Amino acid sequence: MPAHIAGQLHATPAPVWLPYPDDVNAVMPSLWSDNVAKGDDGVLTIAGHPVTELAERFGTPTFVFDVDDFRSRAGLYRDAYAAAFAPEKGLSGVDVFYAGKAFLCTAVAKWVHEAGLGLDTCSLGEMMIAHAAGVPGESIGLHGNNKSLAELEYALDYGVGRIIVDSLDEVDRLEAVAAAKGVIAPVMLRVTVGVEAHTHDFIATAHEDQKFGLSVAAGKAAEAAARVVDSAHLRLDGLHSHIGSQIFDISGFQVAAARVLALRAQIMSDHGVDLPDVDLGGGFGIRYTSQDTPIPVAEMATSLAEVVAKECRGLGTNVPRISIEPGRAIVSPAVFTLYAVGTVKEVVTDSGVRTYVAVDGGMSDNIRTALYDADYSCTLANRNSDAAPAVVRVVGKHCESGDIIVRDEYMGADVAPGDLVAVPGTGAYCRALSSNYNHVARPGVLAVTPDRVDWIVTPETYSQLFANDPGMADATRQ
C-alpha cells in the first residue's frame, strides 16, 4: 500500500464470520475436494497435478473437476440413503437423483449413472445430453414448470421414468401427448406445501407465492391428482416437493415431508390408489466458506428416514419409496475455478482501503455472487506468500461494478499480476449459469484424475462465440 494511504487509512475490516488465518497459505480441507492439496512450495495440486502446469497447458480461467471426488460423493449419497431407508428399518428404499441443472455434460451423466444414481433433467437439452450419454430413460426424471410439447414428446419416446407435472395445464397437455402416442405416462405431481427453506431459515405458511408446483392449500394438488387418476393415459406414481436450496437445517424438510405424506394419505383414501413414490427434492447445503455448517450426509439421511417413518405411522399408511435430488451437494465441492490475476488495486472506501484483485474471468463464469449474494473463498495457488494477510476482494473483468467473485477473503498482501487464484466449490450453478457477457468466451471444464487430464467441456472458441453473427463469418474463418 502506498505510504500516503497507509499512513491515513486502515484496511477494510473483514466480515465477522471470516477468521484471521493462522497461515494464509494453508487451505482449509473442508472447502476443497478430496484430492486437492498444497505442496511446501505453496502450489495447489489436484490428484497430484500442480495447477501451475494445468494453467500453462490449458489456460485460464478453467473449471477444474476432481473426478474421483465427484464419484465418491455420489457413492456416499447412494450408500448413506440406502442404509437409512433400508427395508430392515421399516422403510421402503430410496432413489437418489442427481439434479443435472447444477452441472451437466455427457461425462457427468455417465458418472452419475455408473454410481447408480438417477438423473433429473428439466429441458430438452438436458434430456438430449442424458440420452447421448447412454442413461436409460427409466433413470431419468423430467422437471419444469412449462414443459413444451416437444419436451413431453421426447420424454415419452425416451421412456423417461417420471414426469414431474407442475400445473393443471400440463396434466391436459401430457394426457393429449400420451393419448396420441398410445402410451401411459408415468406422473408425479409437484406440489407446493407452503414451506420455503433457505440456508438456516425456513418459512412455513399455507401458501407460496412462486411459479412452481400445485398448491396443496388451494386444492390444486388434489384437483390434479383426481384428473391424473381418472385419465386412461396417465399413471399417478407419487408426489414431489422441493423446498429450496443451500439448506442447512432439517426442520424445513420435516414440515414438508409431513405435509406431502398427509396429502398422499388423503389421495389414497379419496381414490383408493396406492402412491408408491414420494420425492423430497434437493437443496442440501454445502460449505462454500468457514461460515457454512452443513449437516453430515448420513445424519441428514437418518433424520429424513425417521420423519418419513413417524409420519406414515401417524397417518396409518404404508411407507412410500422416497427419492431425493441433490445437485449442488454432489457436484459443487468437486470443482474449483482457476484464474490468473491481471491487476491489483488499492481502493479507498468509507470503511478503509480495499484491495481489489482482478482475474481473467468473472460474472460470466460465476454469477452466484452477484445474483444471490453468495460468499466464496479462494487461495493463492501458484506460490507461498510471506506477506501479512490482507482482506481482498476478487473481481472479474466485466463492465459491471457488481462483477465480484469473492467478496472477502484473506490473501497474502503481495498478490500480484501473474499469480494464480483458485476458488473452490464452483461445480454447481457456475458453468451451468455461465454467459457470454461482454462477448467473453466461456471457460472449459477440465476433468482430472491421477492418470488423466481431459476436457469434459472444451473452452469456447471465438468461432463458436460468433457462430450466430453472420457478419463475423470472415473474422473467424480459419
Ligand X SMILES: *Cc1c(COP(=O)(O)O)cnc(C)c1O
Active site positions, annotated: 399
Please name which of 390, 389, 326 lies closest in space to residue 356, comparing C-alpha atoms.
390
Is 450 annotated in a binding site? The answer is no
Residue 188 grid coordinates = 408425479
Is 153 annotated in a binding site? The answer is no
Is 81 annotated in a binding site? The answer is no
Q: Which of residues 211-270 bind ligand X (CB under 6 A)?
A: 242, 245
For ligand X, which residue of 11, 46, 47, 102 counts as binding (CB under 6 A)? 102
Is 57 annotated in a binding site? The answer is no
Rank residues 373 and 474 by Cβ distance to ligand X and give the closer one.
Answer: 373
Q: Tell whether residue 426 is a contact of ligand X (CB under 6 A).
A: no
Q: Tell whether residue 361 is a contact of ligand X (CB under 6 A).
A: no
- Smallest gap from Cβ 376 to ligand X, in A, equals 16
- Smallest gap from Cβ 160 to ligand X, in A, equals 15
Q: Tell whether residue 425 is a contact of ligand X (CB under 6 A).
A: no
**Grid-cell match 462483477, residue found:** 403
Q: Please choose, out of 26-34, 41-49, 321-329, 457-465, the segment that lies near ligand X by the rule CB under 6 A.
A: 321-329
What distance in Å separates the CA atoms of residue 107 and residue 130, rounded to the nearest whole number? 10
What distance in Å separates the CA atoms of residue 117 and residue 135, rounded to the nearest whole number? 10
Q: Tell whether residue 118 is a contact of ligand X (CB under 6 A).
A: no
Rank residues 291 and 318 by Cβ distance to ligand X and give the closer one.
Answer: 291
Is 425 annotated in a binding site? The answer is no
Q: State residue 261 phi and psi, 5-degree precision.
A: -70, -35
Is 328 annotated in a binding site? The answer is yes
* Cβ-proximal residues to 426 (8 Å cutoff; 6+ apart), any chain: 63, 332, 335, 336, 337, 366, 376
Please name which of 77, 188, 92, 194 lies closest in space to residue 140, comparing C-alpha atoms.
188
Please name which of 376, 363, 366 lies closest in space to residue 424, comparing C-alpha atoms.
376
Q: Please choose, out of 151-159, 275-283, 340-348, 381-389, the segment that lies near ligand X by the rule CB under 6 A.
A: 275-283
What does DSSP assign to residue 474? H
Q: Is 220 exposed, middle or buried (0-12, 13-18, 19+ CB in 10 A)?
A: middle
Q: Is 186 exposed, middle or buried (0-12, 13-18, 19+ CB in 10 A)?
A: buried
Q: Please choose, out of 84-92, 96-104, 261-269, 455-463, the segment that lies near ligand X by the rule CB under 6 A.
A: 96-104
- Please report how many Cα atoms fall inside a 13 Å half-sphere around the Cα of residue 289, on the Cβ side: 18
Q: Tell whether residue 428 is a contact of ligand X (CB under 6 A).
A: yes
Q: Could you give the residue ranges of the DSSP H alpha helices within 234-277?
A: 251-271
Q: Tell whether residue 406 is a contact of ligand X (CB under 6 A).
A: no
For ligand X, which residue of 38, 49, 73, 101 counts as binding (CB under 6 A)? 101
The count of residues in the chain is 478
Residue 146 grid coordinates = 412449462
Rank residues 328 and 393 by Cβ distance to ligand X and give the closer one.
Answer: 328
Q: Tell whether residue 283 is a contact of ligand X (CB under 6 A).
A: yes
- Chain residues in the site for ligand X (CB under 6 A): 99, 101-102, 120, 143, 242, 245, 281-284, 325-329, 428
Q: What residue numbers does the annotated binding site cover? A: 283, 325-328, 368, 372, 400, 429
Question: Which positions make up the binding site for substrate?
Answer: 328, 368, 372, 400, 429
